[in-house]
């Protein structure tokens, strides 16, 4: 009896190990924690109060691999048989018994299993392994997309930057000779001590290149800005697919006082003229009339003219200019000559007395690079005649002088503008003057208070009083005079 019991125990141990090993393969649907908690040192405890449903599930479905996941019921069965048979036989028959389990299954053998729910008809629930534990990259497709997007952005940045750089260089190469023959200084970034030509463009950022030229008759200097499209920015590239835009070349020539007479004039595409008339300080003040069609002066319909007076237009639109404008009308965005140039209208802040903006005699040319964004370096050569036009304009305006009538009209216009400005800011300036006066008084009073010597204090006070008295008297005199005049 004693020996049989030991053998029984050994057999059960083997089966326990078997179960544990097989159940270990199905980590997810076998709750180890629960079962381990139930087990105590007694080997038999594991066969007590075991949940019967999984057991039932496994029993009814005889897939071959379910066989190793033998349930405690199997053990009960074996337990029952062990008592009758020799324990050693159990070892040999262990595997065979597992496989024959289902054939030996007898519904009546177990109690309390009749009311098995139909849940065993459901298939085994295979829990999904969390994606980060799977060894597949497919689950990270969003991340891969993101990284691909970033790489695309970087690629576009490099390509765009290089393209802009090549375009700038192509422009400079085609214009270098013309500029060097006209200007003593070609290329200056303002940082070097001596004024020597750098001979190259100044890169402001990935899409804007500057060139400063100086040292010529009839002008102070010329700033050329190559305003390319933001090819380095992917967002911009996508936006441009919706709305095509051109690269632009902007030339700003600043003149000395003697280089130009007093007038304001502009010619360019109709859209540009409408926009400039609203935006530019000088054009809105001096060229109040709507832009006139260029057809009257022999230039294409697409161009319109804003002018201070007819004489100016006649003077500027000579045959050569007309020829330039006609042959390159598609590339001309705007041409703006002004002796009152102060840039776009500045938004005035409230309560701030605006001084008349500083003006400078300027010629401003804006050209569109052909290609509408799809520019190639070869297109830069087509801008060379336009630069010739610029040089021609500089020389021409030096010689263009208004006649006496025109000059008078121009002077009247400027005086009118100034007067309007002063009127508008009159209230503001008065306020400012008032505050200044009050400040002065306060400062004086403080000084008197701070004065330690009582004598000096008294003297200063008296002096202040006398000054006040004088002012009052002056005012009264003025009022009297006005009254007399009125009468």
- The residues that touch other proteins, with contacts defined as CB under 8 A, are 130-132, 139-143, 146, 149-150, 153-154, 157, 181-185, 188-190, 195, 202, 205-206, 212, 214-218, 220-221, 223, 232-233, 235, 343-344, 346, 391-392, 395
Q: Which residue has the tokens 């324990």?
A: 87
> Which CB sits closer to other proteins, 7 or 206?
206
Q: Return d(Cα 431, Cα 435) in angstroms, integer.
A: 6
CB 212 → other proteins: shortest distance, Å?
Answer: 4
Nearer to other proteins by Cβ, of 323 and 436: the residue is 323
Instruction: Specify the residue for token string 């497919």.
Output: 138
Task: Give min distance, CB of 184 to other proteins, in A.
Answer: 4
CA–CA separation, 396 vs 301, rounded Å?
Answer: 24
Taking phi over 0 as left and psi of -120 to 50 as alpha, with beta for the rest, 320 belongs to alpha
- Least distance CB 366 / other proteins (angstroms): 14
Task: Name which of 235 and 479 has its Cβ closer to other proteins.
Answer: 235
For other proteins, give the closer residue by CB, 126 or 141. 141
Q: Least distance to other proteins from the beta carbon of 264, Å?
A: 20
- Rounded Cα distance between 236 and 351, Å, is 39
| H-state helical runs in 232-380 | 234-242, 270-279, 281-286, 310-316, 319-327
- Least distance in Å: CB of 373 to other proteins? 18
| Spatial separation of the C-alpha atoms in residues 334 and 269, rounded to whole Å | 6
Contact 36, 116 (CB under 8 A): no
- Backbone φ and ψ for 221, nearest 5 degrees, come out as -175, 170
Q: Buried b vs exposed e over 189-205: b needs ≥16 C-beta within 10 Å?
A: eeeeeeeebeeebbbee
- Judged by beta carbon, residue 227 or residue 270, the one nearer other proteins is 227
Nearer to other proteins by Cβ, of 320 and 480: the residue is 320
Q: Shortest distance, CB of residue 138 to other proteins, whole angstroms?
A: 9
């Amino acid at each position: 009896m004693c020996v049989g019991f030991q053998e029984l125990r050994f057999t059960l141990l083997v089966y326990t190990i078997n179960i544990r090993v097989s159940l270990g393969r199905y980590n997810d649907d076998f709750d180890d924690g629960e079962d381990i908690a139930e087990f105590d040192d007694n080997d038999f405890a594991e066969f007590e109060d075991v949940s019967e449903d999984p057991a039932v599930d496994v029993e009814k479905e005889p897939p071959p691999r379910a066989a190793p996941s033998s349930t405690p019921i199997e053990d009960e069965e074996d337990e029952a048989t062990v008592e009758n048979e020799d324990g050693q036989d159990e070892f040999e028959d262990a595997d065979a018994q597992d496989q024959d389990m289902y054939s030996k299954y007898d519904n009546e053998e177990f109690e309390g299993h009749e009311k098995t729910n139909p849940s065993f008809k459901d298939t085994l629930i295979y829990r999904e392994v969390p994606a980060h534990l799977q060894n597949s990259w497919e689950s990270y497709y969003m991340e891969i997309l993101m990284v691909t997007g970033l790489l695309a952005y970087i690629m576009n940045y490099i390509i765009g930057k290089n393209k802009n750089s090549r375009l700038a260089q192509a422009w400079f190469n085609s214009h270098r000779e013309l500029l060097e023959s006209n200007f003593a200084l070609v290329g200056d970034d303002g940082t070097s001590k001596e004024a020597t030509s750098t001979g190259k463009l100044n890169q402001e950022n990935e899409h804007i290149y500057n060139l400063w030229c100086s040292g010529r008759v009839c002008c102070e200097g010329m700033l050329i800005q190559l305003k390319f499209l933001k090819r380095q920015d992917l967002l911009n590239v996508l936006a441009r697919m919706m709305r095509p835009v051109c690269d632009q070349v902007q030339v700003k020539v600043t003149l000395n006082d003697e280089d130009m007479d007093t007038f304001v004039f502009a010619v360019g595409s109709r859209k540009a003229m409408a926009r400039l008339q609203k935006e530019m300080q000088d054009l809105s003040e001096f060229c109040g009339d709507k832009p006139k069609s260029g057809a009257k002066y022999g230039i294409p319909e697409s161009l319109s003219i804003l002018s201070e007076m007819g004489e100016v237009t006649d003077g500027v639109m000579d045959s050569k200019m007309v020829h330039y404008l006609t042959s390159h009308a598609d590339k001309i965005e705007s041409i703006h000559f002004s002796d009152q140039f102060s840039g776009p209208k500045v938004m005035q802040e409230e309560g701030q007395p605006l001084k008349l903006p500083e003006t400078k005699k300027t010629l401003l040319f804006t050209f569109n690079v052909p290609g509408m964004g799809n520019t190639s370096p070869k297109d830069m050569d087509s801008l060379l005649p336009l630069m010739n036009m610029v040089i021609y304009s500089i020389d021409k305006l030096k010689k263009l002088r208004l006649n006496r009538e025109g000059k008078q009209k121009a002077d009247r216009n400027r005086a009118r503008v100034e007067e309007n400005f002063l009127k508008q800011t009159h209230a503001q300036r008065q306020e400012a003057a008032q505050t200044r006066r009050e400040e002065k008084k306060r400062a004086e009073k403080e000084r008197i208070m701070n004065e330690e010597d009582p004598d000096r204090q008294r003297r200063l006070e008296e002096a202040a009083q006398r000054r006040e008295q004088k002012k009052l008297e002056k005012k009264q005199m003025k009022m009297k005079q006005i009254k007399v005049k009125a009468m």
